[in-house]
Amino acid sequence: MHRKYFEEDHEAYRETVREFLSREIEPHYERWEADRLIDRSAWLAAGKSGIVGIAVPEEFGGSGVTDYRFRHVVAEEIARTATTSLGAGLSLQDDIVLPYFVNLGTVEQKQRWLPGMATGELIGAIAMTEPGAGSDLQGIRTSAVRDGDEWVINGQKTFITSGIHADVVIVVCRTDADAGSRGYSLIVVERGTPGFSRGRKLHKVGLAAQDTAELVFEDVRVPAGNLLGTEGRGFIHLMENLPTERLSIAVHAIAAARAAYTWTKDYAFERRAFGRPIGDLQNTRFELAEMLTEIEVTESHIDRCVLALNAGELTAVDASKAKWWASELQKRVVDRCVQLHGGYGYMMEYPIGRAYVDSRIQTIYGGTTEIMKEIIGRDIAAEFA
């Protein structure tokens, strides 16, 4: 089925992404997975190739490209090469962290941080989750107290993507204990700030090379000018950016499902059993037919969501629908593809094995499937309130 979604510029960019992955990433990826850390040289190479930070405005050293289809191309090529740990870091940087700086930063903040994000020299993270606060962000306890022209931050964060490499961390802090949901703010903490330390590099089920860490803040003093956005509007700022984050996960999910299907289709007509390719067995054909249909239907919907995001029309509810559906589809498709590979599907030398362990987090981070359904359900119930 032909997709009238990508244009010539996107396909030209795809060639750039493919060449970058082939030259800079694939030769080193297995070593990074074994080391459980992607080398920072990959980020610098991504900056030189225009793979990271393309939405940074031109006046701050970027390309100023806001068409999300270019990010979609990167997601598809990452999925095709099974270099998902890199993809997780890039999507955090470009789809989650960068919009906060672009949309909320002062001119001085943009001048300080955006050029480095465009070159890959500066890696960002956002610290929301805490040991006692995951999907329920109102359980956040990390505090920031104003002391003259500084903020003093105390608390702990966990499951922080790019937590080891991060040079700038947007920390979600409670700045007014009595203001409820209006008592939270976003404050930027930079590498090397006294009192800011990394805890464990966490050992995950999948995404081995993607560094995920605990962060500790002990009387960390940062300038008042490190407040990002408006004091007390931290939750509102988070809600404003969640549609992009959740669509990013959905895009990666459908790209991964398509890649898994493609590997499995090819395998099914190469692998022989009972004297013929397993693709000639009726059960295999039915499985392939069902997966292809589900993937194409979902691709059409995700494409529409991306165009809505480009137009500034994607709602939090629609992003939640896309996120839970595509991530659950990914998990289901990858599992079926492992089954069709048989014993080889359980071997990490095959990309489907890596895709299997990497896929499990998709229905959890960025808001669990259950939270997505609750958001959608509340929207439905609001019609009758």
Residues that are catalytic: 245
Residues in the chain, overall count: 385
**Rounded Cα–Cα distance for residues 337 and 318 (Å):** 28
CB-based contacts of 35, cutoff 8 Å, min separation 6: 209
Query: Does residue 254 contact residue 299 with C-beta atoms inside 8 Å?
Result: yes
**Rounded Cα–Cα distance for residues 9 and 63 (Å):** 14
**Rounded Cα–Cα distance for residues 213 and 211 (Å):** 7
Specify the 3-state DSSP secondary structure of 239: helix
CB-based contacts of 104, cutoff 8 Å, min separation 6: 186, 228, 229, 237
Q: Shortest CA distance to 189 belongs to which of 136, 144, 240?
A: 144
Q: Shortest CA distance to 200 belongs to which of 191, 213, 216, 209?
A: 213
